[in-house]
Amino acid sequence: MSLPAYESLTLKATRVELKDGVVVVTLTRSKERNTFTKDLVNEIVLLFDLFDKDDRVRVVVLTAEPNAPAYCAGADISGGWDGLWNPESEKEGEHAHRDSGGVVTLAIFRCRKITIAAVNGHAASPDCNSHLTSDLPWSGAKFALPFVREGIAPEAVSSYLLPKLLGTSRALSLFLSGATITVDSPLLQGLYHTLLPTKEEVFPAAYAFAQELAQNTSQTAIAVTKALVWHAADTIEEQHILDSRAIRSLGAAADGAEGTRAFKEKRAIKFPDTLSKNLPSWVPWWHELDIKHRKAKL
Amino acid sequence: MSLPAYESLTLKATRVELKDGVVVVTLTRSKERNTFTKDLVNEIVLLFDLFDKDDRVRVVVLTAEPNAPAYCAGADISGGWDGLWNPESEKEGEHAHRDSGGVVTLAIFRCRKITIAAVNGHAASPDCNSHLTSDLPWSGAKFALPFVREGIAPEAVSSYLLPKLLGTSRALSLFLSGATITVDSPLLQGLYHTLLPTKEEVFPAAYAFAQELAQNTSQTAIAVTKALVWHAADTIEEQHILDSRAIRSLGAAADGAEGTRAFKEKRAIKFPDTLSKNLPSWVPWWHELDIKHRKAKL
Amino acid sequence: MSLPAYESLTLKATRVELKDGVVVVTLTRSKERNTFTKDLVNEIVLLFDLFDKDDRVRVVVLTAEPNAPAYCAGADISGGWDGLWNPESEKEGEHAHRDSGGVVTLAIFRCRKITIAAVNGHAASPDCNSHLTSDLPWSGAKFALPFVREGIAPEAVSSYLLPKLLGTSRALSLFLSGATITVDSPLLQGLYHTLLPTKEEVFPAAYAFAQELAQNTSQTAIAVTKALVWHAADTIEEQHILDSRAIRSLGAAADGAEGTRAFKEKRAIKFPDTLSKNLPSWVPWWHELDIKHRKAKL
């Protein structure tokens, strides 16, 4: 498959810049507080699918413009929830609806690279800062999970992710109280890699972290590690058989050889393997459900 | 089904008062340190099943009398464990026994409302403060998990709940050491919504929190959110299909409409939907095992 | 089955001393920084299988020599990863490889006693400090998860254990950043029972803790509690049936009787039951996969 030759892209709701393995996605609808419009959703899905396939990309940084009033204000419900239903799925019935927050989360979830959310403003819903890998937010950023106060269910597969990420106790406290808290709350402790004291420090810190990871991590090792965590076996014995095979496959590949050689020679590392050419043939070991209506067998 | 018309009830081991969506259950066997007698167990099960069906109830507050020497001292084992076996199940064999702590926990678990445990004294076992939703304890309350020091297994389905609520690491530390700690221990961090510095502050804070939640949360949204967390799908894609349908169903219902309208009109919210009339027909989506002996197929 | 009569053992990579229910395993290859050699792996597997069967053992303490430069430096990769493959499994193919870190972790996991890792030095990989029960490390100990920086997958079933022990959020932060941190990092908060300020305090504290647990905990209650946590049922109702039976079985046994009697008589406890004679016949209730190649049906 051929990918568009891009170094930078300017789309309707986002701006993209790729350099040295790090791609930065900036949400550009600052005036609309980066609400979850159809454009934004479509672009995020398209971009993360692209980054997944583009071997040049090692780390994705997701951020808002420095002076944006919010990092992401969630769905635009000024016209009520009805504005969110898709006319095509409406013909089928309510079971055909697909929450756009979840569509975005799944696109980020499917992308086998590292994603760092540089949350440099308030986030009115977990849609954008999906906590799927390593986020660096501003410690004063407000984080809202207002669903039960809006008469609706949690968006963006957060009812699946948050209990696993944080434990069910804090997830339930947040969901059932419909909390709006700052990200330095003890209820979120451990959700973020690092908290930054000011908005201004967030992007530079996230970008430096991204550059360091792009230079020093193996693309295949990252993809397999994410998969071992999110698609773990049912029992510890099965996982042992799975991770043993992963260690044997990756250890015998070029990245594994470079890993020990660079360590021995005490020099900077340069991993040659790419996802498109060097991922072991038995990955993925799980079956992924197609979420498109009529393709999803449930 | 017709419910008993009550605003307040005085039972053998508990006292009940319902006002403005908040029902307070006070454990009244202070002299017996609220040990887990047959009366207490039966009343808690009966009451939580009642609250589940009673549309007037939005939030349950569970507490002890202000001057009680303990919030709940667990099972009364002064007569040995034998006093806990049920003569009827004994005829069947040991597999027919049902732990009364678990019977209580499951009654609270099944109730689709918010439960807040206002733990205003020591709790000798996790039976009463089941951490199923949002608890506000006194930070000096002692919390004991002494099972391995008593030659017995963890009660009250705590071996299922605690690892999910807190993570397996801290759950194992607590269970295997048979710990007695105060609730401000780092081993319990995140288990409680808010810790209160004195016993006296616990109930007023819990009651104020309950009133705020009763006024501002949707009964259907709470029930569906709890279910999405506790009865999550096996994969993120299935959960996305599930929560999408929940968002579509609830968003098109009266509570969803009220949620966005009140927000737009910047006025106090008044959710009209009730569990008995407005829960989507496809809820529950899971199958619940009947725990009564001879009905449980295992 | 007859066990070797030992009070102390001196093997190639470890030294063993058993006294009053506590067995101490000291890693003795200090000069080689206790790297994961074949001797070390074989001895740990043999010893934990032995401790599992030996009724005299109630608690295992795993530690390094006081002056060792590292508690455990992980795999020796000075000769590249190839030095880690087993010639016999190589004949079969990569699927026959078994990660030696995982082999060790599973031996500790299978042992039904309490294991306390007294981490009195740096740990270059989670192999040794497997966090399966209660660890007491030196707060300054470095802890490394460098896999993605080495081009390899996480060792020692850590991709299965760490998300369950700590929550997926912090596990992913650690794995994807390939972090080297000290054990007092907030990213590890809750992973350890107690942090000790100096290396020198680690072993005495761990040993005192082990002695206290060996004197005051029931062997059968510990084994059943670990199993209820690690082999929990799929639903809370099934777990209620399982833990009810465990409570009934153990409560009617000698340890249960001693538990309540000692409490009543306010005297020191002395649990008589042993795993070889008194574990309920319906334990284990789960099926364990044999991880040996050709025996593992996957």
Q: Give the pLDDT of residue C123.
A: 81
Question: Is residue C16 assigned to a domain?
Answer: yes
The residue-averaged pLDDT of C248-277 equals: 96
**A34 and A126, same domain (yes or no):** yes
Select the more confidently predicted residue: C254 or B288. C254
Put simply, the chain A residues between 212 and 241 with a CB less than 8 A from any chain B CB are 230
Residues 6+ apart with CB under 8 A from B212: none
Other beta carbons within 10 Å of A247: 29
The residue-averaged pLDDT of A131-138 equals: 73
Which residues of chain B does C259 touch, with a Cβ-Cβ cutoff of 8 Å?
A: 81, 149-152
Enumerate the β-bridge partners of residue A64. Answer: A27
pLDDT in tens, C14-24: 999 999 999 99
pTM > 0.80:
yes
Tokens read off for B35: 């040990």
> A99 and B243 in contact by Cβ < 8 A?
yes
**pLDDT at residue C96 tops 60:** yes
Tell me the residue type at A29.
Answer: R
CB A275 within 8 A of CB C125: no
> B241 and A98 in contact by Cβ < 8 A?
yes
CB C206 within 8 A of CB C24: no
Residue B224: which pLDDT band, with cuts at 50, 70 and 90? very high
**pLDDT at residue C224 tops 60:** yes
Select the more confidently predicted residue: A125 or C66. C66
Tell me the residue type at C187.
Answer: L
Residue B4: which pLDDT band, with cuts at 50, 70 and 90? low
Q: Give the pLDDT of residue B136.
A: 82
Question: Is residue A293 assigned to a domain?
Answer: no
Q: Give the pLDDT of residue B106.
A: 93
Low-confidence winner among A2-11, A257-266, C187-196 (lowest mean pLDDT): A2-11
The residue-averaged pLDDT of B55-74 equals: 92
> A296 and B233 in contact by Cβ < 8 A?
no
Enumerate the β-bridge partners of residue B60. Answer: B23, B115
Q: Give the pLDDT of residue A131.
A: 55
> C251 and B82 in contact by Cβ < 8 A?
yes
Closest approach of chain A CAs to the CA of B199, in angstroms?
21
**pLDDT at residue C130 tops 70:** no
Nearest to C165 by CA among A57, B42, B56, A164: A164
> A257 and C151 in contact by Cβ < 8 A?
yes
- DSSP state letters, B55-99: TT--EEEEEE-TT-S-SB-----TT-GGGGS-HHHHHH-GGG---
Counting residues of chain B whose pLDDT is more than 70, the rounded percentage is 93
Which residues of chain B does A145 touch, with a Cβ-Cβ cutoff of 8 Å?
A: none
Q: Residue A237 maps to which CATH number?
A: 1.10.12.10
Question: Is residue C189 assigned to a domain?
Answer: yes
**pLDDT at residue C134 tops 90:** no
CB A151 within 8 A of CB A157: no
Put simply, the chain B residues between 2 and 41 with a CB less than 8 A from any chain A CB are none
**Nearest beta carbon to residue C148 from set A222, A235, A237:** A222
| Chain C interface test: which of A129, A187, A240, A249 (most C C-beta within 10 Å) | A240
Which residues of chain C does A133 touch, with a Cβ-Cβ cutoff of 8 Å?
A: 172-173, 176
**B29 and B167, same domain (yes or no):** yes
Other beta carbons within 10 Å of C98: 21
Which residues of chain B does A289 touch, with a Cβ-Cβ cutoff of 8 Å?
A: 235, 237-238, 241
Estimate to the nearest angstrom the gap between the alpha carbon of B18 and the chain centroid.
17
The residue-averaged pLDDT of A63-77 equals: 86
The residue-averaged pLDDT of C280-296 equals: 87
**pLDDT at residue A32 tops 70:** yes
**pLDDT at residue A13 tops 50:** yes
**A256 and A176, same domain (yes or no):** no
Tokens read off for C25: 């395993």
Q: Give the pLDDT of residue C84.
A: 84
Question: Is residue B291 assigned to a domain?
Answer: no
**C199 and C122, same domain (yes or no):** yes
Residue C128: which pLDDT band, with cuts at 50, 70 and 90? very low
Put simply, the chain C residues between 38 and 57 with a CB less than 8 A from any chain A CB are none
Residue C2: which pLDDT band, with cuts at 50, 70 and 90? low
How many pairs of residues across A and C have Cβ atoms under 8 Å apart? 181
Q: Give the pLDDT of residue B16.
A: 97
Which residues of chain B does A147 touch, with a Cβ-Cβ cutoff of 8 Å?
A: 221, 225
Q: Give the pLDDT of residue B79.
A: 77
Tokens read off for C2: 């007859």
Closest approach of chain B CAs to the CA of A38, in angstroms?
16
> B176 and C133 in contact by Cβ < 8 A?
yes
> C221 and B151 in contact by Cβ < 8 A?
yes
Structural domain of A189: 8-214
Which residues of chain C does B78 touch, with a Cβ-Cβ cutoff of 8 Å?
A: 264
Question: Is residue B293 assigned to a domain?
Answer: no
**B72 and chain C: CB distance < 8 Å anywhere?**
no
Residue B297: which pLDDT band, with cuts at 50, 70 and 90? low
**A133 and A264, same domain (yes or no):** no
Enumerate the β-bridge partners of residue A123. Answer: A72, A143
The residue-averaged pLDDT of B240-252 equals: 96
**Nearest beta carbon to residue A229 from set C81, C94, C168:** C168
**pLDDT at residue C93 tops 50:** yes
Closest approach of chain A CAs to the CA of B31, in angstroms?
32
**B284 and chain C: CB distance < 8 Å anywhere?**
no
Burial of C235 (0-12, 13-18, 19+ CB in 10 A): middle
**B204 and B226, same domain (yes or no):** no
Closest approach of chain C CAs to the CA of B226, in angstroms?
14
> A151 and B239 in contact by Cβ < 8 A?
no
**A205 and chain B: CB distance < 8 Å anywhere?**
no
Burial of C117 (0-12, 13-18, 19+ CB in 10 A): buried
The residue-averaged pLDDT of C94-106 equals: 92
**pLDDT at residue A84 tops 80:** yes
Nearest to C116 by CA among C54, C51, C42, C189: C51
The residue-averaged pLDDT of A56-79 equals: 88
- Picking from B186, B214, B242, the residue at the C-terminal end of a domain is B214
Q: Give the pLDDT of residue B133.
A: 64
Closest approach of chain B CAs to the CA of C111, in angstroms?
14
Closest approach of chain A CAs to the CA of C158, in angstroms?
9
ipTM of the complex: 0.95
Distance, in Å, from the CA atom of B227 to the CA atom of B225, rounded to the nearest integer, reads 5
Counting residues of chain A whose pLDDT is more than 90, the rounded percentage is 67
Q: Give the pLDDT of residue C83.
A: 82
**Nearest beta carbon to residue B236 from set A98, A99, A109:** A109
> C106 and A259 in contact by Cβ < 8 A?
no
pLDDT in tens, B195-219: 999 999 999 999 999 999 999 999 9
Q: Give the pLDDT of residue C3.
A: 61
- Picking from B214, B234, B263, the residue at the C-terminal end of a domain is B214
**pLDDT at residue B107 tops 90:** yes
Which residues of chain C does B151 touch, with a Cβ-Cβ cutoff of 8 Å?
A: 218, 220-221, 250-251, 253-259, 271, 273
Low-confidence winner among A27-36, A171-180, C130-139 (lowest mean pLDDT): C130-139
**pLDDT at residue C210 tops 60:** yes
How many pairs of residues across B and C have Cβ atoms under 8 Å apart? 181
Counting residues of chain B whose pLDDT is more than 90, the rounded percentage is 66
The residue-averaged pLDDT of C130-146 equals: 79
Mean pLDDT of chain A: 90
Q: Give the pLDDT of residue A1.
A: 47
**C57 and C144, same domain (yes or no):** yes
> C150 and A232 in contact by Cβ < 8 A?
no
Residues 6+ apart with CB under 8 A from C166: A190, B167, B169, C188, C190, C191
**A77 and A105, same domain (yes or no):** yes
| Chain A interface test: which of C166, C168, C191, C298 (most A C-beta within 10 Å) | C168
Residue A138: which pLDDT band, with cuts at 50, 70 and 90? confident
Residue A3: which pLDDT band, with cuts at 50, 70 and 90? low
Question: Is residue A2 assigned to a domain?
Answer: no
Estimate to the nearest angstrom the gap between the alpha carbon of B26 and the chain centroid.
14
Tokens read off for B87: 């003569």
Question: Is residue A158 assigned to a domain?
Answer: yes
Total domains, chain C? 2
Which residues of chain B does A179 touch, with a Cβ-Cβ cutoff of 8 Å?
A: none
- Those chains having 3 or more beta-carbon pairs within 8 angstroms of chain A are B, C
Q: Residue A166 maps to which CATH number?
A: 3.90.226.10
Instruction: For residue B147, give the chain C residue with the closest CA.
Output: C221
Q: Give the pLDDT of residue A128.
A: 44
Q: Give the pLDDT of residue C143.
A: 85
Question: Is residue A170 assigned to a domain?
Answer: yes
H helix runs in chain A, sequence order:
38-53, 87-92, 100-110, 147-150, 158-166, 168-177, 199-216, 219-230, 236-251, 254-264, 275-278
**A224 and A93, same domain (yes or no):** no
> B175 and C133 in contact by Cβ < 8 A?
no
**Nearest beta carbon to residue B217 from set A103, A178, A298:** A178
CB C140 within 8 A of CB C184: yes
pLDDT in tens, A203-230: 999 999 999 999 999 999 999 999 999 9
Instruction: For residue C285, give the chain B residue with the closest CA.
Output: B298
Residue B46: which pLDDT band, with cuts at 50, 70 and 90? very high
Residue B132: which pLDDT band, with cuts at 50, 70 and 90? low
Closest approach of chain B CAs to the CA of A211, in angstroms?
30
Which residues of chain A does C187 touch, with a Cβ-Cβ cutoff of 8 Å?
A: 190, 193
| Chain C interface test: which of B104, B148, B175 (most C C-beta within 10 Å) | B148
Residue B81: which pLDDT band, with cuts at 50, 70 and 90? confident
Mean pLDDT of chain B: 90
**C188 and C99, same domain (yes or no):** yes
The residue-averaged pLDDT of B282-289 equals: 93
**pLDDT at residue B293 tops 80:** no
Distance, in Å, from the CA atom of B271 to the CA atom of C39, rounded to the nearest integer, reads 67
> B153 and C228 in contact by Cβ < 8 A?
yes
- Picking from C191, C214, C237, the residue at the C-terminal end of a domain is C214
Which residues of chain B does A153 touch, with a Cβ-Cβ cutoff of 8 Å?
A: 221, 224-225, 228, 243, 246-247, 250
H helix runs in C70-218, sequence order:
87-92, 100-110, 147-150, 158-166, 168-177, 199-216
Residue B128: which pLDDT band, with cuts at 50, 70 and 90? very low
**pLDDT at residue B167 tops 60:** yes
**Nearest beta carbon to residue B147 from set C216, C225, C230:** C225
Q: Give the pLDDT of residue A127.
A: 46
**C51 and C116, same domain (yes or no):** yes
**Nearest beta carbon to residue C221 from set B78, B148, B173:** B148
- Those chains having 3 or more beta-carbon pairs within 8 angstroms of chain B are A, C
**A150 and A68, same domain (yes or no):** yes
Put simply, the chain C residues between 145 and 164 with a CB less than 8 A from any chain A CB are 147-155, 157, 159-161, 163
